[in-house]
Chains A and B, each alone.
Chain A
């Protein structure tokens, strides 16, 4: 079948460029300028899909973004498959491949259509009512079944290979919609010399002008475009949908760049997100045509009258040859006149109004069209295509005997509904105008104006809303896409759903991908009629973004793969890679987790690394630690107020372990603070807490303690930190260091000093997170790798061994050193984790002091840090496992704690664990049970120190 329904008068069709495409495997021809919908109609194809719930045959209803039925899958390859696109918005290109949806085995014969036979048994709320009982059946039967039948279209199976970009833009005036009103507004702003951005969702500007038959429309459009292009400050964006209106005149636009091309070049940007900040927004979004609600209004071949005009005038396509029109608005007569002019037969114009008068009606009379007024529709015939329509007069409010009239197309129109989606998204107030049968923009909160039919409808032709008089309500569709009928709405109101918000959710009317563009107002009309309440009293559901579906890709933009998040690496990262380190993510950092040798497993490598630290020396990259330089005459006083510790007596050249609480008394972070001068401190934080700590300190400094003269500088990235830990540490670094006497008596544990190492400036701290003699060497980041290598070289004779975060965790757990965020969870006080010794008790105040003296914060039953030793010393507990006082493993059980850290300790030759247990410190020696998937595992409670309890090694 070749373009049997095409004439040569399509204004925006390039008849010289023939395009071949396939739909459900069959090859068709169209022309440049066609949409998939217009090309299929030109070939006489009306059946495009099956409906969601009943699998009824469905065709094309509209010509644009409001299309509820004609959803197809457009496929380029396995990764570039887009389901649920509206055939009315797919621009035809050579070789386009489209498939229908929601049918099996094929579109013409679909097994799912059996649902139609049982449609009486699938009313509104069917799933809520049916799949309630028995409860056990939910997971086994109901959920798999519902998942099987739910959903429309099939998502692509491979990752999206396309590129998406994002950009910001600023303008004086943003015009949304390039129809008659939008173009006029843009022109006016351009003439004033303003920066203008105008966008339209279609592939060309013009809006409804593109659908008009008259020559003037075309000419004025051409002239306007020519003039507009002369202004350098005007940006025109076609194929660009304004999908969201955000506060302070921020509008989200989605520009489609390659969707219409037969072979987009590799690397081309497919879609671009524009985030536009406009001084003023002009909404020229036009109006959407309203369908009529009558029995059988969903058959393929039933179409909006305005859509038929678009197909005829813009694309040169007749939707049919023998056309019946059901009209509630004068525009239906215009469609009938134009189609008759183009050679179609008008079988009937059934006007649902009693005494229609108007210009087009007069013209239709003069043209001899068969007009019948005061009518309703009692049904339509045909299966895969409408074949007849039954119309009946309303006499004294009753439906009289009906006539059945043969036809191949039914056009319907109920009038127009202003597109107020974006206005409503902007939190503007809408006002119901009964003389227009429409909600129109009223008070706005943003700097915007609505123009053209988006602002309200001209003239006095209000059309009709709601349903036509009918008896058979089960095939009168209100929402085509979600298969909602008048009967469903009827039922919902009878079951007590009277608010439109409830009716929407119960019947799902307006909840499909078209978001009720065609159905919302008719639903309101039907409910208003049933409840005998004026429309404004029914309420109005919220318009939400996006106006039409947009790809997730535009929101991701370039932030995928390696660019998903910034990756932070330390100055020694490249060395660790060369040594085959295995890395782990710690916040944004890549940290070396362990350094496997040969074919070592992680456990083997970690055991070797731990033993090396205890026996000779380990080398560890601690550069990720947060570092803050605290400077100023009041620096010590500031630290006094922030930390739980006392700082005034910390002498220059000394360090102290510091604990930071929030104002509510719970531990927030920890680290080491070293005093370099009376007014200068070097402070470290946890790796993940660096930004948080700095923000908190700035907050207090800027808002509460403006009296203090203190300056904070983040130095995390400035220093590379090399930890040298183990009994041989001093022997290894001593030959490299000058300017500091690092002998045991001159530079004891918790010292800080400045000197040089291998000729490079250095801040040296004698600190230990392993329990061994240890140093943390801070050098400028640029020298990090060189100094690291120098130490590694110098340590070869001593068996120096690089170790990773995993060994670091084991070593510190052997000593019972806590990790903030592992032992603590935001509800632990310093005392809970055994740190009450750090509190400067004589201080009048510090952050969290007041909260810590509340009764509950001192309750003896709080969870406290303890050690756990399994009776079977080779069993390693699971971190996070719950702890119980008894072995009985049957719920309900009282859980008294949980495991926070658990490792196999090579040093001790057994497993160890740290845990938080209620009142745990009073229960050392007691046996408790850790609940693991295999069994309840008996453990002995101990103090949370497993190695060198007297702490002698650290002072070596």
Chain B
């Protein structure tokens, strides 16, 4: 079970969180203007990285806030958690597994 550092509440058990998929996928400002290809990319295409990836979490059974995290999927180690709107911090050495 992961130990996750909510940027608002601190370290809590994974039981309190829900996973929210890949981070930094921005909803187009005016979706009606984008092409079918761009829509497909936005709706369906997700990275599935063996290594370091940015992802969304929500402290559902705590403060209820969404935040982002950088996690190495090969070790489950979190390199950083940060608030929505903040840029993804530069990560350490990329693990290629």
Contact = CB atoms under 8 A, between A and B. Distances in A.
Contacts of A849: 31-32
B43 A663 contact: yes
B11 to A, nearest CB: 10
Interface stretch (A318-326, A338-346, A698-706, A888-896): A698-706
A544 interface: no
Count chain A CB atoms within 10 A of each CB in B31, B58, B75, B84 and give the residue with the most: B31
B20 A698 contact: no
Interface string A842-861: 00110001110110000000
Interface in B20-42: 20, 27-28, 30-32, 34, 36, 39, 42
Nearest to B36: A854
Interface string B46-78: 000000000010101000111000000011110
A734 interface: no
Nearest to B66: A702
A246 interface: yes
Contacts of A247: 1-2, 76
Contact of B30 (A249, A275, A845, A854): A845
Contacts of B34: 850
Interface string A704-721: 101000000000000000
Given A664-B43, A844-B30, A703 B3 contact: no
A765 B13 CA distance: 42
Contacts of B56: 703
A327 B37 CA distance: 70
A706 B39 contact: no
Nearest to B85: A706
A845 B3 contact: no
A445 interface: yes
A703 B83 CA distance: 10
A248 interface: yes
Contacts, number: 59
A704 B60 contact: no
Contacts of B65: 702
A695 interface: yes
A854 B39 contact: yes
A698 B66 contact: yes
A703 B27 CA distance: 10
A639 to B, nearest CB: 17
B39 A850 contact: yes
B66 A851 contact: no
A818 interface: no
Contact of A248 (B43, B64, B76): B76
Given A706-B84, A854-B39, A845 B1 contact: no
A706 B86 CA distance: 13
Interface residues of A, number: 26
A664 B27 CA distance: 12
A851 B39 contact: yes
Given A247-B76, A445-B77, A699-B20, A850 B31 contact: yes
A699 B66 contact: yes
Contacts of B2: 247-248
B88 to A, nearest CB: 14
B22 to A, nearest CB: 12
Interface in A270-290: 275, 277
A733 interface: no
A704 B64 contact: no
A613 B22 CA distance: 50
Contacts of A663: 27, 42-43
Contacts of A36: none
Contacts of A445: 75, 77
Interface string B1-13: 1110000000001
B84 A702 contact: yes
B32 A844 contact: yes
Nearest to A699: B66
Contacts of B18: 695
Contacts of B31: 845, 849-850
Contacts of B39: 850-851, 854
Contacts of A168: 13
Interface in A213-249: 246-249
Count chain B CB atoms within 10 A of each CB in A247, A703, A845 and give the residue with the most: A703
Count chain B CB atoms within 10 A of each CB in A427, A699, A850 and give the residue with the most: A850
Interface string A814-845: 00000000000000000000000000000011
Contacts of A854: 36, 39
B85 A250 contact: no
A211 B90 CA distance: 54
Given A248-B3, A248-B76, A851 B43 contact: yes
29 contacts: A250-B3, A275-B1, A277-B3, A277-B13, A445-B75, A445-B77, A695-B58, A695-B60, A698-B58, A698-B64, A699-B58, A699-B66, A702-B65, A702-B66, A703-B56, A703-B66, A703-B84, A706-B85, A844-B32, A845-B30, A845-B31, A850-B28, A850-B32, A850-B34, A850-B39, A851-B39, A853-B32, A854-B36, A854-B39
Given A703-B56, A851-B43, 4 more contacts: A250-B3, A695-B60, A704-B27, A845-B31
Interface of A: 168, 246-250, 275, 277, 427, 445, 663-664, 695, 698-699, 702-704, 706, 844-845, 849-851, 853-854
What 4 A-B pairs come out closest when comparing CB atoms? Answer: A850-B31, A247-B76, A248-B3, A445-B75
